[in-house]
C-alpha cells in the first residue's frame, strides 16, 4: 500500500509548504471523521488536474465504516460527473444525499475542496454509512453541528489548528466532548465528559456552567484555562492542558471554532488520564528502585574487589596472588557495568564508557612492572544491559591476557578496536608484544581466562580466535558477536 508522501511526491505539483499542511491535516482529521460518523478520503490533484489521487484515508471510531476497502493509491481520471471533480472545479462544498450504494450499503457523500491562498490543493471526500446511522439525540446532533463547522473551516484551510495533537496522549472525541458558547458557557457535554468532571469532584450537571470557572473551582492553583477571546481565538490556536487534583488527572484539548472569520464557540475534548499517570509514577518508582539495586550491587562488588586486594597482600605465593588479581579484575569489570546502569534509566549501555574504564582498570591491576596504556579505536555503540556484563568480562579477560602474556606484564600498549558490521560486532584486542609461539593451539590452552571467554561467547552465539597480528608485531584476539545477541 502506498504512503501519502509517495502519492503526493509522484503525482502532484504541490509545494513543500502545501505538503506539510496536508500532513498536518491528516494528523488531525480523525476529529472530523469521528464527529461526522464518516470515512474520509484525501484526494490530491495530479499535474493534470483532470486526475485526482487518493493520498490518505481514515475511518470513524464512532460509527460503522462506509468503505470496506483501502483506496489509497486509487485515482479518479477524466470524470467530470464525479463529486470530487465537481468540488474541485466549483471550489465549493458539494454533496449528494441520494444514498448512493457502496458494497450494498447506502452512503451519503460530501466533497470539501481545501482552499489555500486562493488555490484548491486537495479535496476531502466524506462518506457516511446511512445503514448504521445512530438514533438522533443531543449527542448525535452536537457531533453533527461540530462536523459542519469543521467542514467549513477545512474548506477555508482554517482546520487543522495549531499546535498539533499528540496521538498518544491528546484526548479524542470518544474520550469526552464539550461544546461551549462563544462566551465560554457549556452548551453540551457528552456522557464521558460528564464522567470526567465527576472524577474531578463535580457533583452537579455541567450544562450551563462556565467552563473556565468550573474547571478552576475543581483544580486548586489553576490560573488560566480556556481561550483568551482577544488573543487565542484571533490566532486560532489550540490550548492543551493537564489538570489534576487529589481525585483525578485530566487532559484537556481546547479548540476554537470559527465560521466566516467569527468565533462561534469552543470545542473541548477531555480525557481521564488518572490511571495513566498512576502507572507512570509506578514506573518511575520501579526505575528508581532498579537504579538503586544496581548501585548497591556495584558497591558490594567493589567491596569484594577490595577484600581480594587485601587478601592478595597477605599471600606470599605468586600463583595465588595472580589468581586473586584475576578474580579482582573480573569482579571490578562487573561492577563497572552496574555502576553505569545505576546512572541511567535506559535498558542499553553506552559500552564505550565501560570499555574505557576496563582499559584503565586492567592496566593498573595487571602490569606488575612498567606502565600499560589501554586505548580504544572505534565505538561499541549501545549494548543491551543483558549482554553488557558478558561482553565486559570478555574484554577484561582478553586485555588482561594481552598484558600478562603479550606484554609479559611490562610496559606497552593494548588496543581495543570494535567495529560494527552488517550482521555482527567484531572486537579486536591487539598488543605489541612478542606474539604467539610457533605451533600455538588455543584448543590446547588450559588458561582459565580464555576458557571463560569461550564459555561467555558460546552463550551469546559468538566466536573467538587468537592469532598473531597480520600488520605488526604482537598478538590479536578477535571476538565476533552476532547482532541478534545485541
State the total domains in the chain. Answer: 3
Q: What is the pLDDT of residues 111-159, one digit of tens each?
A: 999 999 889 999 999 999 887 666 778 999 999 999 999 999 999 998 8
| DSSP three-state, residue 437 | coil
| End residue of a domain, out of 251, 272, 293 | 272
Which stretches of the chain drop beneath a pLDDT of 50?
229-235, 367
Contacts for 235-244: CB closer than 8 Å, 24+ residues apart? 236/158, 236/161, 236/162, 237/161, 237/162, 237/163, 238/161, 238/162, 238/163, 238/165, 240/163, 240/165, 240/166, 240/170, 242/273, 243/200, 243/215, 243/218, 243/219, 244/219, 244/277
Whether 58 and 108 share a structural domain: yes
Helix or strand holding residue 115 (H, E):
strand 105-116
Whether 178 and 51 share a structural domain: no
Whether 354 and 479 share a structural domain: yes
CATH number reported for the structural domain that contains residue 411 in this entry: 3.30.565.10
Question: Is 53 within the bounds of a domain?
Answer: yes
| H-assigned helices in 75-185 | 83-90, 138-155
Q: What per-residue confidence (pLDDT) applies to 83?
A: 94
Q: Whole-model pTM above 0.75?
A: no
Whether 12 and 57 share a structural domain: yes
Whether 349 and 447 share a structural domain: yes
CATH number reported for the structural domain that contains residue 217 in this entry: 3.30.450.20
Question: Is 37 within the bounds of a domain?
Answer: yes
| End residue of a domain, out of 98, 120, 155 | 155
Question: Is 305 within the bounds of a domain?
Answer: no
Whether 187 and 129 share a structural domain: no
Question: Is 290 within the bounds of a domain?
Answer: no
Q: What per-residue confidence (pLDDT) applies to 14?
A: 92
Question: Is 303 within the bounds of a domain?
Answer: no
HSE toward the beta carbon, residue 220, CA cutoff 13 A: 3
Q: What per-residue confidence (pLDDT) applies to 226?
A: 56
Whether 68 and 108 share a structural domain: yes
Contacts for 276-285: CB closer than 8 Å, 24+ residues apart? 276/169, 276/249, 277/244, 277/249
Q: What per-residue confidence (pLDDT) applies to 368?
A: 52
Question: Is 424 within the bounds of a domain?
Answer: yes
CATH number reported for the structural domain that contains residue 92 in this entry: 3.30.450.280
Residue 113's contacts (CB-CB under 8 Å, 6 or more residues apart) are 87, 88, 90, 91, 92, 93, 120, 122, 123, 155
Whether 123 and 238 share a structural domain: no
Q: What per-residue confidence (pLDDT) applies to 229?
A: 42
Question: Is 298 within the bounds of a domain?
Answer: no
Please state whether beta strands 186-189 and 177-180 pair in parallel, antiparallel, or not at all (unpaired). Answer: antiparallel
Strands in 284-411 per DSSP E = 348-350, 372-376, 382-384
Whether 414 and 476 share a structural domain: yes
Please state whether beta strands 186-189 and 424-431 pair in parallel, antiparallel, or not at all (unpaired). Answer: unpaired
Q: What per-residue confidence (pLDDT) applies to 171?
A: 95
Q: Which range of residues forms the domain containing residue 205?
A: 173-272
| End residue of a domain, out of 272, 287, 322 | 272
Other residues' Cβ atoms within 10 Å of the Cβ of residue 79? 14
Q: What per-residue confidence (pLDDT) applies to 234?
A: 47
| DSSP three-state, residue 361 | helix
Query: Percent of the chain at pLDDT above 90?
Result: 42
Helix 16-28 and helix 4-11, axial crossing angle in degrees, nearest 10? 150
Report the distance separating Cα 434 and Cα 446, nearest Å: 20
Whether 114 and 15 share a structural domain: yes
Whether 356 and 432 share a structural domain: yes
> How far, in Å, are 227, 262, 393, 467 from residue 400 at the CA level?
67, 77, 10, 16
Question: Is 300 within the bounds of a domain?
Answer: no
Whether 107 and 221 share a structural domain: no
Amino acid at each position: 500500500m502506498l504512503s501519502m508522501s509517495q502519492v503526493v511526491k509522484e503525482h502532484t505539483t504541490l509545494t513543500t509548504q502545501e505538503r506539510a499542511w496536508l500532513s498536518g491535516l491528516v494528523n488531525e482529521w480523525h476529529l472530523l471523521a469521528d464527529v461526522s460518523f464518516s470515512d474520509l478520503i484525501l484526494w490530491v490533484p495530479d499535474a493534470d488536474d483532470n486526475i485526482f489521487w487518493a493520498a490518505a484515508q481514515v475511518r470513524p471510531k464512532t460509527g460503522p465504516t462506509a468503505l470496506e476497502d483501502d483506496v489509497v493509491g486509487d485515482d479518479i481520471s477524466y470524470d467530470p460527473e464525479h463529486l470530487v471533480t465537481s468540488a474541485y472545479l466549483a471550489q465549493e462544498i458539494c454533496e449528494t444525499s441520494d444514498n448512493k450504494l457502496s458494497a450494498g450499503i447506502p452512503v451519503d457523500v460530501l466533497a470539501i475542496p481545501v482552499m489555500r491562498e486562493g488555490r484548491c490543493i486537495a479535496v476531502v471526500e466524506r462518506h457516511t454509512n446511512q445503514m448504521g446511522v445512530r438514533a438522533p439525540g443531543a449527542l448525535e446532533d452536537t457531533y453533527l453541528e461540530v462536523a459542519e463547522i469543521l467542514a467549513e473551516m477545512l474548506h477555508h484551510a482554517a482546520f487543522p489548528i495549531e499546535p498539533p495533537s499528540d496521538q498518544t496522549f491528546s484526548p479524542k472525541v470518544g474520550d469526552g466532548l464539550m461544546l461551549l458558547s462563544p462566551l465560554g458557557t457549556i452548551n453540551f457535554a457528552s456522557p464521558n465528559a460528564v464522567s470526567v468532571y465527576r472524577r474531578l469532584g463535580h457533583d452537579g450537571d455541567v450544562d450551563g456552567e462556565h467552563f473556565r470557572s468550573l474547571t478552576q473551582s475543581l483544580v486548586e492553583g489553576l490560573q488560566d484555562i480556556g481561550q483568551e477571546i482577544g488573543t487565542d481565538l484571533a490566532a486560532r490556536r489550540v490550548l492543551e492542558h493537564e489538570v489534576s487534583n487529589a481525585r483525578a488527572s485530566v487532559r484537556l484539548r481546547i479548540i476554537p471554532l470559527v465560521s466566516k472569520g467569527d468565533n462561534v464557540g469552543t470545542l473541548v475534548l477531555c480525557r481521564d488520564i488518572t490511571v495513566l499517570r498512576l502507572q507512570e509514577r509506578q514506573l518511575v518508582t520501579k526505575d528508581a528502585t532498579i537504579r538503586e539495586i544496581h548501585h548497591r550491587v556495584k558497591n558490594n562488588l567493589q567491596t569484594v574487589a577490595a577484600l581480594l586486594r587485601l587478601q592478595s597482600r597477605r599471600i606470599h605465593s605468586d600463583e595465588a596472588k595472580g589468581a586473586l588479581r584475576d578474580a579482582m579484575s573480573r569482579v571490578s569489570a562487573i561492577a563497572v557495568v552496574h555502576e553505569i546502569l545505576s546512572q541511567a534509566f535506559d535498558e542499553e549501555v553506552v559500552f564505550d564508557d565501560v570499555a574505557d574504564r576496563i582499559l584503565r582498570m586492567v592496566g593498573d591491576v595487571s602490569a606488575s612492572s612498567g606502565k600499560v596504556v589501554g586505548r580504544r579505536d572505534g565505538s561499541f555503540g549501545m549494548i543491551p544491559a543483558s549482554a553488557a556484563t558478558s561482553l565486559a568480562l570478555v574484554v577484561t579477560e582478553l586485555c588482561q591476557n594481552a598484558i600478562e602474556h603479550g606484554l609479559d606484564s611490562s610496559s606497552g600498549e593494548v588496543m581495543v578496536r570494535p567495529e560494527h558490521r552488517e550482521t555482527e560486532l567484531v572486537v579486536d584486542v591487539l598488543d605489541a608484544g612478542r606474539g604467539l609461539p610457533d605451533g600455538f593451539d588455543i584448543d590446547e590452552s588450559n588458561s582459565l581466562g580464555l576458557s571463560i571467554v569461550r564459555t561467555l561467547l558460546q552463550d551469546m552465539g559468538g566466536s573467538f580466535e587468537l592469532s598473531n597480528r597480520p600488520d605488526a608485531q604482537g598478538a590479536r584476539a578477535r571476538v565476533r558477536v552476532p547482532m541478534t545477541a545485541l
